[in-house]
Structure 1
């Protein structure tokens, strides 16, 4: 009998992804924060097909509905974590505005001319969840979780917003933030029941602009946090000290069996490496 080929979003393995055809379209954000220009930020579509006459050109600009969003990280509604679900497709980009807390749901069915599908207002998010300043977007099967860096008044540590597959607010994903001081990026490795989150600062601290003196006043992060992924709560913290000032982007190996991961400490200019040892204990260097 011929083996049925799964046709859900993403790839079944890192090797399959490496061997897949190269992308022909790229999306990136363009922002006006700090320029004095009162125009909406936009999502730029770039042709990256070497055989195209438009290779290397911006072929479309999708303006956001409002001004002052400061678009930041963005993520897909579906990815390889739901590869086996044939009812889902990688079609929608969730594009947060860190200053307004608006979430722009962008329909990329026409990949060369994406369009706004829906906007979840920052005011609605604040009212329902007491969260603000969205950052990292990850799909979690049919659900979506987004790290939020502050509460409704811009104070740390924030939390995690959960959306359903129709982009309706479910509520807060985490059961507890424990003693976490700040939020920023996160990544998970379900086969080890682990999520790792990093630290930036409270929105009230970073929104006015970076002040080096505030690092010494402990207003910026220097810790990463290990979570029990199933229980949705932090269980261990690594204090990185001077070696890990402002640990930002978090990544695990693409191999879902691997426990190894990394975070870039922006101010210390170091890469921090963590892993689970033979005794099942987590370590870092």
Structure 2
């Protein structure tokens, strides 16, 4: 495929870093009550713009109750290194799954990127009949089409969850990716090492386990996911299944190295039932197989039971609840969001087996409710939850809602809606909250906000096949 297809397809991580900075952010916004229509909010990120940090566009969906969660582009930098596509391919459409409704909306960001419009809807019936899945979750553009992970089987309650394939051009579901899943049953995230022909999947739960809130019996009974699976990407065959130990519950976000010559990455684990700590694990190729080891452990923070929600009172502590991790495009900095304590941590992972903490900021938190510097009088609920890094690594964007049915478990008085930008030192490490970037509450028209995507690509949207 010619490199001139789209200027936002970057040949290498270095090319992505050197490209012009992001101008806009797309933010998933949803109504947890299912009454108001869900939307993609468009936020101005241009530091030189008088409207920087403000919602400057709105792409409303025709339906409500979707629970917009994670979403992605129809095409990205991986298009430069795979064949099988005819005609023009460009980073133009946002593929936006509804985790609650099983409905997926495809939004066109042209001709006006500030006013995305719905171009197609993949209905739950099509996903169920053609791929056998429901509750779509994560979208990645890659070889042979668009890959979309799903939590549930066709019935919408149980598993196995897995990955559906979507056509680049028509956005029709073309089938199921897995051909031999072995013992894999639970599903969550999906990523890959393209040049190695290896994919990784992680595990959360079945839809029935999460959609009515967090059941303590599921957690204490160690029923959530605690594996990482390695697959052959080209044919969907399970190669290796690694158990982290069932005390490590909810193995969620996968972040492989961006440099295609590297065969390592990180996995975030929400909580340990042994001590409420959270952890980050690193995988690496070890001969013909894959080795996985814990490289970061974040302890729970003691707290007065009177300041804790009912679910945590018996423990007298706030768990970090690591709900997202993100790796900078240069593979040096790992960011870890602790949604429970309201902390965002920065680690230098130049040596991925020995991360070194280099920075921390706090916003919100179950007990602390740390305010944003733009509104010091406003205690914040929620915490840095979904995080996204600019391609040059200098800015980190955070939003504060986890999942509607679980927000109320840990923040019974509500989480509201807010988005923050954190400035990162990419030389020595360190972070500071941008005091002028704080869209919140009414700016999002009463909707909660989840994932962010940056207009020309970001640290978790693209994969690369070339080192230079």
TM-score greater than 0.5 by the shorter chain: yes
Deviation at 1:218, TM superposition (A): 3.6
Paired residues of 1:82 and 1:142 also in contact (CA < 8 A): no
Cα offset, 1:255, TM superposition? 0.3
Single out whichever of 119-128 and 39-48 deviates more from structure 2.
119-128
1:71 match: 68
CA contact (8 A) 1:205 1:219 kept: no
Quick check: 226-235 or 122-131, which moved more? 122-131
Q: Counterpart of 2:160?
A: 157
> What is the deviation of 1:37?
6.1
Matching residue of 2:105: 104
CA distance 1:142–1:121, change in 2 (3 Å): same
Deviations 1:84-130 (A, max 9, x none): 57721000000000111111000011211111111111122223332
- Alignment match of 2:256 (pick from 229, 243, 252): 252
Comparing 24-33 and 153-162, the one that deviates more:
153-162
- Tell which deviates more after alignment, 150-159 or 132-141: 150-159
- 2:34/2:65 contact within 8 Å kept: no
2:233 is aligned, of 215, 229, 233, to 229
Q: Find the aligned partners of 1:132 and 1:218 in 2 and give their Cα distance.
A: 23
Q: What pairs up with 1:157-236 in 2 under 5 angstroms?
A: 157-165=160-168, 166-236=170-240
> Could you tell me which residue of structure 2 aligns to residue 21 of structure 1?
20
Runs (4 or more) in structure 1 with deviation over 6 Å come to none
Query: Which has the larger displacement, 260-269 or 119-128?
Result: 119-128
**Structure 1: gaps spanning 5 or more residues:** none
Q: 2: distance between equivalents of 1:57 and 1:103?
A: 27
RMSD of equivalent CA atoms? 1.7
> Which segments of 5 or more consecutive residues in structure 2 lack a partner in the other structure?
273-277, 294-468
TM value normalised by structure 1 = 0.93
Task: Confirm or deny: 8 A CA contact 1:226 1:237 kept in the other structure.
Answer: yes
Deviation at 1:176, TM superposition (A): 2.3
| Counterpart position of 1:281 | 289
Residues 1:61 and 2:58 aligned together = yes
Q: Secondary structure at the match of 2:26?
A: strand
SS at match of 2:271: coil
C-alpha distance in structure 1 between counterparts of 2:248 and 2:281, whole Å: 7
Does the 8 Å CA contact 1:78/1:141 hold for their aligned counterparts?
no
Q: Which residue of 1 aligns with 2:333?
A: none
Q: Secondary structure at the match of 1:126?
A: helix
Q: Give the 3-state SS of the residue equivalent to 2:64 in structure 1.
A: coil
How far apart, CA to CA, are the structure 1 residues paired with 2:248 and 2:13? 29
Counterparts of 2:55 and 2:35 in 1: how far apart (Å)? 21
In the alignment, what sits opposite 2:279? 270
Which piece of structure 1 moves more, 19-28 or 225-234?
A: 225-234
Q: Measure, in 1, the Cα distance between the counterparts of 2:232 and 2:179.
A: 11
Q: Report the counterpart of residue 90 of structure 1 in structure 2.
A: 91
Corresponding residue SS for 1:41: strand
Q: Distance in 1 between matches of 2:248 and 2:235?
A: 27
Displacement of 1:180 in angstroms is 0.7
> Which deviates more from structure 2 when the two are superposed, residues 58-67 or residues 90-99?
58-67
Shift of 1:179: 0.4
Mapping of 1:112-127 within 5 angstroms? 112-127=114-129
In 2, the alpha carbon distance for the partners of 1:208 and 1:142 equals: 36
